[in-house]
Every structure is written in C-alpha cells, then in structure tokens.
Structure 1
Amino acid sequence: MRDRRLPLLTAGLLAALTTAACGAADGGTAADAGGEAADTVTVAATDDACDVASSELPAGTHQFQVTNSGSQVTEFYVYADGDRVMGEVENIAPGLTRELLVELPAGTYAATCKPGMVGDGIRSDLTVTGEAAQLSEDETLSQAGTDYQRYVQSQTGALLEQTTAFVDAVKGGDVEGAKALYPVARTYWERIEPVAESFGDLDPVIDGREGDQAEGEDFTGFHRIEQALWVGGTTEGTAPYADKLLADVQQVVDRANGTTLEPLQLANGAKALLDEIATGKITGEEERYSHTDLWDFAANLEGSEAAVQALRPYLEEADPDLVAQLDERFAAAEAELEQYRTDGGWTLHDQLTEDQLQGLSDRITALSESVGQVAAVVADQ
C-alpha cells in the first residue's frame, strides 16, 4: 500500500529523503530517454479540483503530466471499468509535477486525482476512440507479460498459504506465532503489489493503514491485525478481521492468476515498487507497529527486479546501456540492504540510524531513477 500520511521520522531526515526521492525518482519521460515523446496531457491538481486538459484522446500511449498546486499530497490514477488501474502515480507533494505513461485502447476511463490520497477521489470522464497498434503486439513485449504472469502465479500460491497460516495463528490466539508469520505473509503481497493494486477495490481493505480510510470506512486488513498484535499484545476481537483478510486475499489470488499486465503496466509497476520505498516506507510509516519494514523493502526490490527481468530481452535490444545500468544499481541496492539481514530475517526499522536509512534511500532512489526510464524505452518500440 502506498503512503497516505506524513512520515514519522525527524524533520531533517524527512526533508533529505523527500528531496532525494522527488528529485531523482520521478523517472524519465520518453524525451529523457532519447525516444519519441508521447502526447502530453496536462493535469492540474488541487485540493478540490482535477482539471485534465483533454477529455477525449485517440487510442495509443499518452503521457499525463500532473502538477499538484494544492496543500495536500495527492495521487493520480487512470481507471478502467470496475476501477481497474491502467496507470497510477502517487505521492505527488504540493508544488511537484510527476509524469505517467499509459497505454489506452478505445474505451471509457476515469482520470482521477486523490487529494490526501484517500477516498474515491475527484474524477473526470475520459473517452478514448480509434485504433492503434498495441505495445503487446510486439512479440518480445508480449512474452514479457507471459513470463511475469508465471512469476505472479508462483507468488500468489505462497501468499495464500502463508496468509492462511497467519490467520490460523491469529484465530487460535497464538500472539507470538502470528507475529512471526506476519512479515512472511506480507513478503508475498509486497512482491506482487503492482498486480494487486490494479484491483483498486481490494488493495485498500487488505493493505490500508489506520487513517487511510474514507469517512465511515472500517480499518481492516493486515495492518489492523498488526496493531492488535504489537500494540495490544492480543488477538482478542480480531477473528472477524482475520476471516475477512483471508477472503480478500483469496480474491486477489483468483484475479491475479487471470491477469496479465501490459508492457507499460509492468514498467510502471517496477518503478512504483521502488518509489514506495524511497518516498515512504523508508520512514517506517508502513509497518509502524511491528517495525518489520525491511521485509517489505526486500520484497519490493525483488518484485521490481522480476518485472524488469521480464522486460529484459526487449531492453537488451532497445537500450543495452540502460540494462547495464539497471544491473549495477539493482546490485548496489541489494548490497546496501543485505547489511541488515539477520538470522531471523531483517533488522527492525526502529533499530536503524538515520545515516543507515539515508544510505538505503540513496541506493533505492538511484535505482528508481534508472527503472523510471524503462517505460519510455518500452513506449518507443
């Protein structure tokens, strides 16, 4: 789940991390990568408006340029029917501009800004007409989606198995057993988050944190149980939440196993996983009760690398220099994180110093900058 609230670290570290993440991790545009720029659709976001420059677009790849002039952090989504996410860009701080490449076939969509990053957001109808060659018609890019789908299937089975074990421990009143299983189950969730988040209705109820909910919505999912285990030291009253969590995870598994991401969704998802670390999880905001954030870091890195590796055959032909840079920066980020591996998994977030967190942030931000160029290379096929 992406960051919804202000981080918890000191103001000095927050400022340093935000500057690094926003300055370098916004990713490249088609022009940055030396490719042909897609049409640019400007989006003016404020606390009470989401003004999209055009409500009608031709089929094809478009670049949305979102500028946040409001006072709250916002995010931008392009939703298809059923709130299926075609593309998203999150953590757009006041005063910042972020860009998103999205491939849109003919159909109706909702361009959506979410001030405060909660609720249904401010929606604008978007109509796409005509025909255009799809990126997935390229044989190598099509194979990337198939290859990544196999990875997703390998992870969803483990996600369901480990979530079942976690739920059994919770319902059995085994606090220590549930605590041990919690970060393990979440590892499989975090690896496939780009797919899971494409089901917009399920992600918030599974992975939402306290304060993420719109008015009248219940706080459910992994973090609701995390709070009970680490703050209350109990499983009392959590059985209904555990049952709902398992049912919701089963839905994600069923949907994910039948979903193949399009090439740009793969590229954007790989970057989003890294941005999630660099702009939020680095602060300890995600696992605020258990402090098991580094389990999430490792899983996000692995999931991002899996998506990039699926695209690798295409990238090796299109931009071998970028591939070399990606290999170098993935290795550097993984080596930085590896320092904090323990016999039981990973060092707890609250045991790391600000300098150690900054080191992690720097490596992830540099990697995110490189991964951010992948979408532009794919779009320029």
Structure 2
Amino acid sequence: MWDDAFPSFLIGLREGLEAGLIVSVLVATLVRADARSRLPQVWTGVLGAMALSLSFGAVLTFTAATLSTTAQEAFGGFLSVVAVAFVTAMVFWMRRSARNLSGQIREKVTGALAMGAGMLIVTSFLAVGREGLETALFLWTTARAAGESAGPLTGAGAGLAIAAGLCWGLYRRVLRINLTRFFTATGIVLVVIAAGVLAYGLRDLQEGDVLPGKAALAFDLGGSVDAGSWYSALVQGVFNLTPAMTWLQAVAYAGYLAVVLTLFVRGTRAAVGTAANRAAPQGDRGAARQPEGGVAAGAPEQGPAGDADLAAPGEGRVTARQAGESVAAGVPGAVPEQGPAGDVDSAAPAARQPVSGEASEPAPEAVPYSRPGAPQQTPVSSRPPRRRPVWVVPVAVVAVPAVVAGVVVAFSGSKPAGAQTIAVSETECGKGFRAPEPGRQTFRMRNTGDKASEVYLVDPGSNAVYGEIEGLAPGTSRDLVATVGGGTYAWRCVPTGGKAVTSAPVRVSGGGTTRAVTPVSESDLAAPLDAYKKYVADGLATLATQTDRLAADIQGDDLGAARADWLTAHRTYASLGAAYGTFQDFDKKINGRTAGLPDGVGDKDFTGFHRVEYGLWHGRSAEELRAPAEQLAQDVKDLGKAFPGQDFAASDLPLRTHEILENTLQFELTGDADQGSGTTLATADANLAGTRELLDVLGPLLDRRDPKLLGTVHAGVDRLQKLLDAAHQDGRWTPVDRLDAGSRARLNGATGQLLEDLAPIPDLLEIRKAA
C-alpha cells in the first residue's frame, strides 16, 4: 500500500499547491480590494471544480468496470498515456509560469470583477478545475497500476493536506517558498514517475492487443529479483518498473526520460539565467512590481527568484480613490469602472459604494424627468427585485457534474447488460444462473462458501471450457467474461480439497458457435511426458560422453579440440531446455552464469560450461581449466543418475514451449550469455531444436484443440530456423554482436513473433481440476 502512495502524494502536493496558490491569490485580491462580499463566488467556483473532478474519477472507474478484460487493458493503457501527456505539459507549464503566476491571476480577477459574479465563478472554476481533472486522471491511472486504491488515495490526501497548510502559511505571511525551485525539483521527480506510467500504459495497450510485441521481452529479472521483496515492491510502486519489460516499454521509458528530462533541465537553466539578468538591484529586491495603471494590491509578491509571499488581509490596502481612479459620475448608462485594486464603483454617484474610511450616505430618491408640455406618465410602482436564494448557484455547480456523471454511469451500467450474479460454494454451484443472451457476457461470480474454489463455465456434454476463474476466495467476487453462442452451458465448481459440483445445464439458442477448450488432464499429458523424459535421458547419456571428451582434450592440452567439443556438448545441453526446472540445483552447476556472483568470473561458485568457456576463449592454460572441466563432467554424470527420480511435472511441458525461446530472446540473442566464444546463436539454434521436440510430443493434443495454431507455429519455427542457418557459414557461427542491424532486427522480430504464436499453448493444455 505505502509503496504506491508516493507518486500520488507528489501529485497531490504539486497540484494542491498550484490550485491552492490560485485560490489564495483570488481571495487575497478580493480582500485587499475591499470586495469580501464576492468571496462566496470564488468558493462556488472551487466547489464546482471539485465536484467535476470527483465525477470524472467516478466515470472513469465505472466505465472501466463495464468493459471486457482486454478492453479494460486497452482503456487503461490509453488513459495512462493521456495522463503522461497531461503531467508532462503541467510540469513544463509550471516551470515557465511559477514566477509570473500571481500577476496572471490578478489580471483574470480584475477582468472577472468588471464582468460580474458569473465571470468570477467561471474564473475560479477553470483555474482549479484543470488541476482537479489532472489529479483525478493521474490518481485513477496510478490506482489501476497498483491494483488497489488505498495507497494512492492516502498519498494524494496527505499531499493535498500539506499543500493546503503551505498555502495557508503563505497567505498569513508566515512562510516563504521559492516556487521556481520547488516546482523544478518536483518536476524532475514527476518526469521519472511519468516515464514509468508511460511504460505501464504501453504494456496495457499490448495486453489489450492494440500494440504488438507483448511477448518480445527486453529483459526478465524474475529469476534473480524477488518480486515480493520490499525493495522490488518499492520500485514497482514508485516508478512502475517491473522485473520483466517488453522492448516497447524499455525503449519508450528510456526515450521519454532522455528527451523530456533534457528539455526540462535545459529550460530550467535558461529560466534561471533570464531571471538573473532581470533581477533588480539588491536594495530593490522584494519590492512589488506595479502593474500598468494600478498598484500591486492583494496578490502574492514574487522576487526575481520566484519567492511567493501572500500578503495578510488588511495590510497595505489601497482604495480606489487613493489609486486615483476616475468615476463616470453623472453619465447616464455609464459602465462601472474598476480601479487597479479591484474596487468597483457604479456609474451613478447615488449608487456608488463607499470607499474604505468614508461615511455611508443614503442615495437620493430618483425623480422622473419629463419634457414641458408632455403628458404626465403614471409612475411605475417600484417593487423590490426578487432575489435568487444564495444557495442556488453553489448547489447547481456542485450538483450538475454529479448528475451528469450519474447519468453516464447509469446508461453505461456498473455491469454490462445481461450480467448475472452467480453463487459458488462447496455444496451448490451456479445458483442464480439463467440462460444468457448470445454474445459476449459478463458473469459476476460470488463465493458464498468457506473454501477457495476453481470455477468453470463448461459444456456439460463434452466438458469443454468456455471460461474460468482460478482460486476464487471465500467472500469475494470476480467477473468472468465469456462469449456465449448456441449450445448447452453449466457451471462447475471445484472447491479446495473438495469434490466438483456442477450446476443444472441451460440451453442457449441462436448466436452461432463459440470456441471452447477441451480440458486436459494429467493422464492426457502422461504419454507426451514419458516420450519427453526418454528424450532427456538419452540426451544426458550423450552429454556425459561429450563432457568426458571435453575433459580429456583439456587434460591432453589440446585446447583447439576442446573449443570444438565444448560447443558440441553445450548445444546438446541447450536442446534439453524443457527439463531445466526439473534439474534443480544441477542446472546452476552445469550452466550457471555470473549474475548475482559477487566476484563475477573469478567467483568460486562460477562453474560449468560458462566457466570452461571463459577460460578457453580468454587465454587460460590447460592446467587452470582441468579442474573446472572435470567438475563439469562429474556434475553431468550425477545429473544423469538423479534424473529418473526427479519430479518432472506434466504441466511443465506446455509452459516450456514458450519459456525456452523467452530465455533465448533475453540471453542468447542479446549476447548476455556469451563468455567469449561468440556462439550464442549456436545455443539459440539448439534451443529451437528443443522447442521442436516439445511441439512434436504435444502435437496430437494441440491438433485436436487448435489445428490452425499448430500450423502457424511450425511456419514460425521454420522462419526462425532459416535466419539462424544464415548465421552459420562454413562451420562457423557469426557472433551476435557482429550481425548487421537488419539481420539482427529480423532475428529478434521472428523470435518475438514466434513467441506470440506459442503464447496460447499453455492455456490450451492447462490441466484443469475436474473440468
């Protein structure tokens, strides 16, 4: 919770201080102009802006709730990008305007006073409303990124409270703040935070299928970074950085920071230089600049460095008469004139308000004028004008945004049309289920029992699954979105430690056909698992022979042969990729990298293939390499003995079809795994061979569920194989860092596309409990 509070705290503090300064200047200007009676108009505009901001947040929340999961990702990603644009514009605008903020607001107040009550309400409404809408959008975005609202709302509330205290201190002249420095420092931090929001938003757009490349990872630190640790949570909460990021996210994050921070810092330096050139002499620092034709009354005084100081009410008040304003006295129909301090005198002397310090005189009674000889007109009886109740306008400006938001939410609905609430428990499943309309439907699943439960929407005849929710906790509700066509539907609930319970079936007519996934059981995966375990066992036997030969080469001081035999053995090990998780600690001993080792390549725990590779290609002697090579050969033999008794889960097979090439994209195709041999593309080729083997053993199961997918995957495998073959000429592999930019881009693109093609396989072949 607290990890997600800081970005919202900073937004609340900045936006709150910005809006608070505006309100303070408005209030101080009216107080000094002896126009306290106009203060309710300012507060009316402020209340309206707050109501609009809250209503905007409500509309965002309920609108997102009505969308499908994919549409929610796209909607949230789009608004995240919009929020970044707003925040970026805001930090640049405030950096540029902090020094002249009070003067700009005074001009707006002066114009508003001359045009009447409505304009003063509009002025305060627009000034505060912009900050409120930006805050609402950014809070909604950060809350969605955090997956909870308590932290962001708490942080924003604390920031707004501190901003209110600072503005009060400025207004009472007990504080002085260098606004330029404050908004510059917080602006830099906000740019960094906004970069993370941009990366998160782009990931949402990828998940929502708006942008491509969701499987093309730039890095994945999940194996070396504990995502549940306090430091990882802090980085994710504050900066929206995750252990795994796609290439689009990484490039956008780095590019945004490089461009925006450079422009921001460069603009800040230019502003400081300009301020230094324009600074008044030392004896004049802090003197108020006189606006043209008037006096500086009732607004924050700013020195050249951007210090803000709001004058306390009643200090230094200058009346309209003292300012030397002229009044259009005695001129029929004259428009009221406004002095520079904001006082308003009516055109007719009888209606002029007394200036501070003058006695109030009753206005003389108006006498109708008539021409000589003209017929006398009957005087019209003067009735006191009907006054509008003072509460009407404040209530209207607060109620209108709320009513509009309510109408939007009501018409969109907090749940999609046709949504049903379905009860789940250990004894009954699908209570409240009725035949839905054809089309995309959202079902609200509510666990009323005492145990967590798996929930499936199934065809009771074939057990095919249309949708599922995993681990629905007791007392909680979640939405299940599924496309309903013609056919028979039922709910199947599998409570933890209990037996499956199936609801009564319902029949849906019309709507065409819809795709369902035939469930996979452990027995279905038993034959593929046995076939693959035999493949791994044979591979380990071959590997033992190859590593013995490698050790013998080094023992005989034939390092040239050792380099060739090293590559052969390492390719054999790489082709067994689906079993890495099963190998347990042996994988670290046999194929471990230097990541996380304090002494890098010199660390005592750096062993295996990459330790021998480093020595062979960095001029180490045979004497130095004998012990690592012999240890490698012994570890391979020990793994071969242990493998038959190791726990190889059948559910790992579908997952590995995707994970092998994910590692290839992260390590081999970046060159990160290279310790000098320049053969990472050879390893990538072996990884692809291991993926082919998995597709062969899983092919019959996939073919029955999605034959088109299998054809697409094989085409992608062949495309990637051709690109790898092009890097293998005359028995030598081109180092990945020596590929030309076009070849490297095509290789990465083909791997990323193949990963997207492989992505559905884990879902298609997931073992579903009693489904």
Partner of 2:399 in structure 1? Answer: none
Residue of 191, 206, 220 corresponding to 2:590: 206
Range 211-220 or range 222-231, more displaced: 211-220
Q: Deviations over 1:40-96 (max 9, x none)?
A: xxx964563679xxxxxxxxxxxxxxx955889987xxxxxxxxxxxxxxx568989
Which amino acid in the other structure matches residue 230 of structure 1? W
Partner of 2:254 in structure 1? Answer: none
Indicate the SS of the match to 1:183: helix
Tell me, in whole angstroms, the C-alpha distance in 2 between the residues paired with 1:222 and 1:136: 37
Task: Decide whether aligned partners of structure 1 residues 22 and 278 sit closer, same or farther in structure 2, where only a CA change above 3 A counts.
Answer: farther
Q: Is the 8 A contact 2:582 2:648 kept in 1?
A: no
Residue of 11, 18, 24 corresponding to 2:215: 24
Residue of 182, 202, 206 corresponding to 2:566: 182
Give the aligned CA root-mean-square deviation in angstroms: 3.7
* Residue pairs, 1:151-162, within 5 angstroms: 151-162=535-546
Task: Decide whether aligned partners of structure 1 residues 339 and 151 sit closer, same or farther in structure 2, where only a CA change above 3 A counts.
Answer: same
Q: Is the 8 A contact 2:678 2:733 kept in 1?
A: no
Partner of 1:251 in structure 2? Answer: 638
Indicate the SS of the match to 2:651: helix
Which amino acid in the other structure matches residue 48 of structure 1? Y
Indicate the SS of the match to 2:585: coil
Q: Is the 8 A contact 1:175 1:233 kept in 2?
A: no
Partner of 2:718 in structure 1? Answer: 331
Q: Is the 8 A contact 1:264 1:379 kept in 2?
A: yes
Indicate the SS of the match to 1:283: coil
Q: Is the 8 A contact 1:271 1:372 kept in 2?
A: yes
Q: Is the 8 A contact 2:593 2:606 kept in 1?
A: yes
Partner of 1:172 in structure 2? Answer: 556
Tell me, in whole angstroms, the C-alpha distance in 2 between the residues paired with 1:353 and 1:256: 41
Partner of 1:130 in structure 2? Answer: 497
Q: Deviations over 1:142-199 (max 9, x none)?
A: 2111121222123112111111111111222211111111111001110113313423
The runs of 5 or more residues in structure 1 that have no matched partner are 1-14, 27-42, 52-66, 76-90, 97-102, 105-127
Q: Is the 8 A contact 1:46 1:69 kept in 2?
A: no
Tell me, in whole angstroms, the C-alpha distance in 2 between the residues paired with 1:303 and 1:275: 13
Range 227-236 or range 269-278, more displaced: 227-236
Q: Is the 8 A contact 2:522 2:767 kept in 1?
A: no
Task: Check if 1:193 corresponds to 2:572.
Answer: no
User: 1:348: Cα distance to partner?
Assistant: 3.1
Q: Deviations over 1:180-225 (max 9, x none)?
A: 1111100111011331342331212221223443687521111111
Task: Check if 1:340 corresponds to 2:727.
Answer: yes
Tell me, in whole angstroms, the C-alpha distance in 1 between the residues paired with 2:212 and 2:650: 24
Q: Is the 8 A contact 1:44 1:69 kept in 2?
A: no
Q: Is the 8 A contact 2:582 2:646 kept in 1?
A: no
Tell me, in whole angstroms, the C-alpha distance in 1 between the residues paired with 2:543 and 2:589: 16
User: 1:311: Cα distance to partner?
Assistant: 0.7
Tell me, in whole angstroms, the C-alpha distance in 2 between the residues paired with 1:283 and 1:375: 26
User: 1:241: Cα distance to partner?
Assistant: 1.3
Task: Decide whether aligned partners of structure 1 residues 246 and 380 sit closer, same or farther in structure 2, where only a CA change above 3 A counts.
Answer: closer
Partner of 2:393 in structure 1? Answer: none
Q: Is the 8 A contact 1:46 1:70 kept in 2?
A: no
Indicate the SS of the match to 1:24: coil
Q: Is the 8 A contact 1:146 1:260 kept in 2?
A: no
Q: Is the 8 A contact 1:68 1:92 kept in 2?
A: no
Q: Deviations over 1:260-308 (max 9, x none)?
A: 7434201111211101111221111112311111110110000011112
Tell me, in whole angstroms, the C-alpha distance in 2 between the residues paired with 1:160 and 1:131: 46
Tell me, in whole angstroms, the C-alpha distance in 1 between the residues paired with 2:596 and 2:212: 22
Indicate the SS of the match to 1:130: coil
Q: Is the 8 A contact 1:47 1:71 kept in 2?
A: no
Task: Check if 1:149 corresponds to 2:533.
Answer: yes
Tell me, in whole angstroms, the C-alpha distance in 1 between the residues paired with 2:697 and 2:661: 17
How many residues are matched? 289
User: 1:350: Cα distance to partner?
Assistant: 3.8
Indicate the SS of the match to 1:173: coil
Q: Deviations over 1:101-135 (max 9, x none)?
A: xx99xxxxxxxxxxxxxxxxxxxxxxx96378995
Q: Is the 8 A contact 2:703 2:710 kept in 1?
A: yes
Task: Decide whether aligned partners of structure 1 residues 369 and 70 sit closer, same or farther in structure 2, where only a CA change above 3 A counts.
Answer: farther
Which amino acid in the other structure matches residue 130 of structure 1? G
Task: Check if 1:163 corresponds to 2:535.
Answer: no
Indicate the SS of the match to 2:583: coil
Task: Check if 1:303 corresponds to 2:690.
Answer: yes
* Residue pairs, 1:226-375, within 5 angstroms: 226-259=613-646, 261-375=648-762
User: 1:246: Cα distance to partner?
Assistant: 1.1
* Residue pairs, 1:210-225, within 5 angstroms: 210-213=594-597, 218-225=605-612
Q: Is the 8 A contact 2:719 2:750 kept in 1?
A: yes
TM-score when scaled to structure 1?
0.66
Partner of 2:45 in structure 1? Answer: none
Tell me, in whole angstroms, the C-alpha distance in 2 between the residues paired with 1:224 and 1:74: 30
Residue of 225, 231, 241 corresponding to 1:48: 231
Which amino acid in the other structure matches residue 215 of structure 2? A
Task: Decide whether aligned partners of structure 1 residues 318 and 286 sit closer, same or farther in structure 2, where only a CA change above 3 A counts.
Answer: same
Task: Decide whether aligned partners of structure 1 residues 380 and 207 sit closer, same or farther in structure 2, where only a CA change above 3 A counts.
Answer: closer
User: Per residue, is there more strand in 1 or in 2?
Assistant: 1
Which amino acid in the other structure matches residue 23 of structure 1? K
Q: Among the aligned pairs, what percent are the same residue?
A: 25
Which amino acid in the other structure matches residue 661 of structure 2? L
Tell me, in whole angstroms, the C-alpha distance in 1 between the residues paired with 2:681 and 2:606: 23
Task: Decide whether aligned partners of structure 1 residues 285 and 132 sit closer, same or farther in structure 2, where only a CA change above 3 A counts.
Answer: farther
The runs of 5 or more residues in structure 2 that have no matched partner are 1-198, 218-225, 251-469, 472-494, 501-518
Higher relative contact order (CA 8 A, sep 6+): 1
Task: Decide whether aligned partners of structure 1 residues 92 and 214 sit closer, same or farther in structure 2, where only a CA change above 3 A counts.
Answer: farther
Task: Decide whether aligned partners of structure 1 residues 166 and 352 sit closer, same or farther in structure 2, where only a CA change above 3 A counts.
Answer: same
Tell me, in whole angstroms, the C-alpha distance in 1 between the residues paired with 2:230 and 2:554: 40
Task: Decide whether aligned partners of structure 1 residues 379 and 228 sit closer, same or farther in structure 2, where only a CA change above 3 A counts.
Answer: same
Q: Deviations over 1:310-330 (max 9, x none)?
A: 111000001112111111111
Indicate the SS of the match to 1:315: helix
Q: Deviations over 1:342-376 (max 9, x none)?
A: 23253333432232122111111111112121110
TM-score when scaled to structure 2?
0.34
Which amino acid in the other structure matches residue 325 of structure 1? T
Tell me, in whole angstroms, the C-alpha distance in 2 between the residues paired with 1:136 and 1:254: 29
Task: Decide whether aligned partners of structure 1 residues 195 and 170 sit closer, same or farther in structure 2, where only a CA change above 3 A counts.
Answer: same
